[in-house]
């Protein structure tokens, strides 16, 4: 963005979901702990596992763990089942986020969501996906555009998801801001040609976000 002036008014703010808008860590830890109990995996702390993923996605990390420990190969499927059939109330927005979102909308700045999660699907006969989580949190009406992993061919740091969201509003990238908690979010914003903001409030170890790990949770 060197040499370009920040727009006087943003046309769209694009948000990541987990660890940016929403604190879903308790739900993820709970689901992963159940998987470990089911498969007799001991000595691996679920929280530590989630916070220190290598530069790969979550599914591949679980495959690697199952191979290393010679455990069942369906750890990720078990995790998805437990996570998406969780009881309501395990998610929460970060302090001040709801008010901030409403402030943008109140100033006629539309919002979009681009997430590595699935937007909408069914699992075990239950409606699931980030659209369901937005509804639970009372945020559905704030996001006219939601782009999930099923809506793109390429995930972040590829800019496809961001560009799809901007196309929904007919907005040029130089007038948009992407807010996300990982380096892959920032790289996707740069690749799309829009502005970026690194959200560090959602990561227990704020510096860890700078490792650039990619997290495709579900």
Note whether 142 and 75 are same-domain residues: no
Q: Are residues 148 and 132 in the same domain?
A: yes
Last residue of a domain, one of 35, 58, 90: 90
Residue 99 is part of a domain; what is its CATH number?
3.40.50.1000
**Residue at a domain's end among 37, 61, 90:** 90
3-class DSSP assignment, residue 185: helix
* Same domain (yes/no): 19, 124: yes
- Domain match, 86 and 43 both: yes
Number of domains forming the structure of the chain: 2
Tell me, yes or no, whether 74 and 168 share the same domain.
no
What letter does residue 26 receive in the DSSP assignment?
A: H
- 168 shares a domain with 147: yes
Q: In 2-19, which positions are buried (b, 16+ CB within 10 angstroms) versus exposed (e)?
A: eeeeeeeebbbbbbbbbb
For Cα atoms 139, 164, 60, give the angle at the middle one, nearest 5 degrees.
80
Domain housing 11: 1-23+91-218
> Do residue 95 and residue 116 come from a single domain?
yes
What is the pLDDT, as a whole number, of residue 54?
67
Residues 123 and 218 in one domain: yes
pLDDT at position 165 is 98
Question: Distance of CA 118 to CAs 17, 149, 218, Å?
Answer: 11, 5, 7
Q: What is the pTM of this model?
A: 0.89
What are the residue ranges in the chain where pLDDT is below 70?
A: 1-3, 54-56, 203-218
Indicate whether 189 and 215 sit together in one domain.
Answer: yes
Which pLDDT score, from 0 to 100, does residue 210 have? 45
Same domain, yes or no: 145 and 211: yes
By CB atoms closer than 10 A (0-12, 13-18, 19+), residue 173 is buried
pLDDT at position 7 is: 84
pLDDT value at position 208? Answer: 47
Shared-domain flag, residues 128 and 196: yes
Q: Are residues 11 and 34 in the same domain?
A: no
Q: What is the pLDDT of residues 70-117, one digit of tens each?
A: 999 999 999 999 999 999 899 999 999 999 999 999 999 999 999 999
pLDDT of the residue at 63: 93
Of 35, 55, 90, the domain-final residue: 90
Secondary structure class of 58 (helix, strand, coil): helix
């Amino acid at each position: 963005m060197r040499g370009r002036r920040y727009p006087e008014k943003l046309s769209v703010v694009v948000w990541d979901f987990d660890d940016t808008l929403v604190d879903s860590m308790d739900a993820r830890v709970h689901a992963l702990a159940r998987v470990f109990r089911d498969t007799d995996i001991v000595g691996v702390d679920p929280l530590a596992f989630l916070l220190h993923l290598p530069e790969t996605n979550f599914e591949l990390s679980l495959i690697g763990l199952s191979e290393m420990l010679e455990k069942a190969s369906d750890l990720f499927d078990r995790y998805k089942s437990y996570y998406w059939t969780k009881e309501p109330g395990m998610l929460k927005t970060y302090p001040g986020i709801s008010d901030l979102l409403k402030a943008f909308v109140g100033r006629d700045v539309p919002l979009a969501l681009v997430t590595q999660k699935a937007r909408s699907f069914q699992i075990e006969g239950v409606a699931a996906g980030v659209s369901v989580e937005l509804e639970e949190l009372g945020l559905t009406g704030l996001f006219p555009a939601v782009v999930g992993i099923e809506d793109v061919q390429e995930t972040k740091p590829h800019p496809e998801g961001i560009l799809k969201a901007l196309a929904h509003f007919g907005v040029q990238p130089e007038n948009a801001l992407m807010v996300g908690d990982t380096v892959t979010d920032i790289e996707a914003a740069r690749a799309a040609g829009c502005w970026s903001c690194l959200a560090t409030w959602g990561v227990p170890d704020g510096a860890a976000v700078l490792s650039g790990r990619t997290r495709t949770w579900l």
